[in-house]
């Protein structure tokens, strides 16, 4: 019998918290035993817990961690295809393959994610406008279904299940392994051009004008600035550096960065409109328009990973991560209205990120779609007043055709979700066929009425 441990978990934002029964299987037969014995009413997979909200929480249900399933299974240098188990982390892929000249084709803002979690959330990165989300580079997935069967899903085989699993937040089954195509690179550095934008319109104009010139484009945005400087930004535009651009003898070597750590939850008064405004002003002024700056892989893609447990900065009450994408034709208007509301409320943090998305993701519940996306952190202060404000933001987003990201969400309502994700019914039909008893569920899935509550 596989034993469980009852405990309380949270999303990375430390806002959503639920108590469930945690399992840590070591073999595939352990997984099958858990599912067939049905120790709990329902289960959800969990990797490293970097989803911000309640996607990997399961109130009074089972939580199956996949971190023991972390073997590299096969790599073909000619095709650049890696096969690995779902518990392999992006950090492990980078440390093993980047020194050999192979990089991840897509990565989010942290390397502390598992392959299974990346697929379940169809993660995107700074190159979405060029290369799409992670699903563009996934060849196939091996999925353990509620019946105990292991099914291979791809664009050619079990296509519907493939589309439901990509971005399907773990509700179709347990991802066991996957084949992913890596990218060949000559160095572990990015050649970055920094451009400052005095306001939102200028930032969008620069991203539009440089769309084809850079593989990676991202902007830090000041969400507290107002009037003529509203949305002032620092744009970081980059391409992989060739080995000829790098002066080091080992251009593919990884730089060891000293890690800092936030040892405890900081007092809530540390983050306030005044401290955030001061930080934003300092951050904006420290940059100049410069070209060809060589930045190491970790510093460019994972600036926050150098601070372990950085989520504690927001205190014990945590924060709300809010990410929206507006369709291309409505992006400028939607972002302007959203920033106006945020700056007036003075509740936004220093982690505002603006990017341009390319084509829609491959999953039925994938978040990315063509347009502009803004991600920001809102410290949880003010209780019901803040919750009311978030509801108002949701209404504004809906009014401009926007969509919220499930991997970041904590508060969306079922009706808002259904309007934002028109392929929900198609997803539910596939889930009903592959999981007729609703064995795979989560706190988020029940909150959003994706599945019915059988617990």
* Helix, strand, or coil (residue 293): strand
What digits encode the pLDDT tens for the residues 273-299? 778 888 888 888 889 999 999 999 999
Q: Which two tokens stand for residue 95?
A: 């440390």
E strand or H helix at 102? strand 102-103
Instruction: Using the Cα atoms of residue 325, residue 328, residue 334 and residue 340 in order, give the sign of their dihedral.
Output: positive
Per the model's pLDDT, the better-predicted residue between 308 and 23 turns out to be 23
Instruction: Using a pLDDT cut of 70, give the percent of the chain over it.
Output: 98
Inter-CA distances, 247 with 98, 242, 282, Å: 18, 10, 31
Judge contact between 94 and 28, C-beta under 8 A.
no
Least confident of 280-284, 325-329, 371-375: 280-284
* pLDDT-derived band at 222, boundaries 50, 70, 90: very high
What digits encode the pLDDT tens for the residues 409-441? 999 999 999 999 999 999 999 999 999 999 999
pLDDT of residue 277: 82
CA 255/CA 265 separation, integer angstroms: 29
Backbone angles phi, psi at 245, to 5 degrees: -80, -15
pLDDT above 90: residue 79? yes
Inter-CA distances, 426 with 163, 164, 300, 422, Å: 10, 9, 38, 9
What digits encode the pLDDT tens for the residues 381-397? 878 889 999 999 999 99
Q: How many CB atoms lie within 10 A of CB 53?
A: 25
Strands 260-261 and 307-308: parallel
CA 399/CA 198 separation, integer angstroms: 27
219-228 mean pLDDT? 91
| Strand ranges across the sheet with 353-357 | 290-296, 189-197, 233-240, 216-221, 353-357, 371-379, 319-327, 403-404
pLDDT of residue 263: 87
What is the value of pTM for the model shown?
Answer: 0.95
Q: Where are the beta strands (DSSP E) in 208-283?
A: 216-221, 233-240, 260-261
CA 162/CA 152 separation, integer angstroms: 9
CA 406/CA 408 separation, integer angstroms: 5
* Helix, strand, or coil (residue 452): coil
Q: Which two tokens stand for residue 438?
A: 């609703």
* pLDDT-derived band at 455, boundaries 50, 70, 90: low
């Amino acid at each position: 019998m596989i034993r469980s441990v009852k405990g309380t978990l949270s999303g990375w934002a430390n806002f959503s918290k639920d108590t469930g029964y945690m399992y840590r299987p070591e073999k595939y037969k352990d997984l099958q035993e858990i599912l067939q014995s049905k120790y709990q009413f329902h289960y959800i997979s969990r990797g490293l817990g970097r989803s911000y909200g309640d996607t990997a929480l399961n109130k009074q249900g089972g939580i199956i961690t996949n971190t023991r399933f972390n073997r590299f299974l096969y790599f073909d240098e000619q095709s650049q295809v890696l096969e690995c188990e779902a518990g392999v982390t992006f950090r492990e892929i980078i440390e093993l393959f980047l020194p050999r000249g192979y990089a991840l084709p897509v990565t989010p803002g942290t390397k502390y994610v598992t392959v299974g979690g990346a697929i379940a959330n169809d993660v995107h990165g700074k190159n979405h406008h060029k290369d799409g989300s992670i699903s563009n580079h996934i060849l196939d997935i091996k999925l353990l279904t509620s019946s105990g069967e292991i099914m291979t899903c791809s664009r050619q085989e079990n296509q519907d299940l493939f589309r439901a699993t990509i971005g399907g937040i773990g509700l179709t089954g347990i991802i066991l392994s996957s084949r992913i195509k890596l990218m060949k690179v000559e160095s572990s550095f990015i050649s970055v051009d920094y451009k400052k934008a005095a306001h939102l319109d200028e930032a969008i104009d620069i991203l539009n004008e440089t769309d084809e010139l850079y593989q990676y484009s991202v902007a830090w945005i000041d969400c507290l600035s107002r009037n003529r400087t509203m949305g002032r930004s620092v744009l970081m535009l980059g391409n992989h550096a060739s080995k000829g651009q790098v002066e080091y003898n080992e251009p593919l070597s990884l730089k060891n960065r000293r890690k800092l750590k936030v040892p405890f939850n900081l007092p809530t008064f540390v983050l306030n409109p005044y401290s955030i405004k001061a930080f934003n002003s300092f951050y904006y002024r420290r940059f100049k328009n410069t070209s060809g700056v060589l930045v190491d892989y970790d510093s460019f893609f994972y600036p926050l990973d150098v601070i372990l447990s950085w989520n504690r900065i927001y205190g014990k009450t945590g924060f709300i991560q809010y990410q929206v994408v507006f369709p291309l034709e409505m992006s400028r208007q939607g972002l302007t209205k959203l920033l106006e509301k945020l700056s007036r409320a003075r509740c936004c943090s220093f982690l505002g990120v603006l990017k341009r998305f390319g084509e829609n993701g491959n999953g039925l519940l994938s978040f990315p779609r063509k347009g502009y996306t803004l991600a920001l952190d809102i410290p949880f202060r003010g209780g019901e007043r803040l919750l009311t404000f978030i509801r108002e933001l949701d209404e504004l987003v809906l009014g401009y055709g926007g969509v919220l990201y499930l991997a970041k969400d904590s508060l969306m309502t079922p009706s808002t979700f259904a309007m934002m994700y028109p392929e929900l019914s198609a997803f539910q039909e596939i889930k009903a066929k592959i999981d007729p008893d609703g064995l795979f569920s989560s706190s988020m899935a029940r909150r959003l009425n994706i599945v019915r509550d059988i617990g």
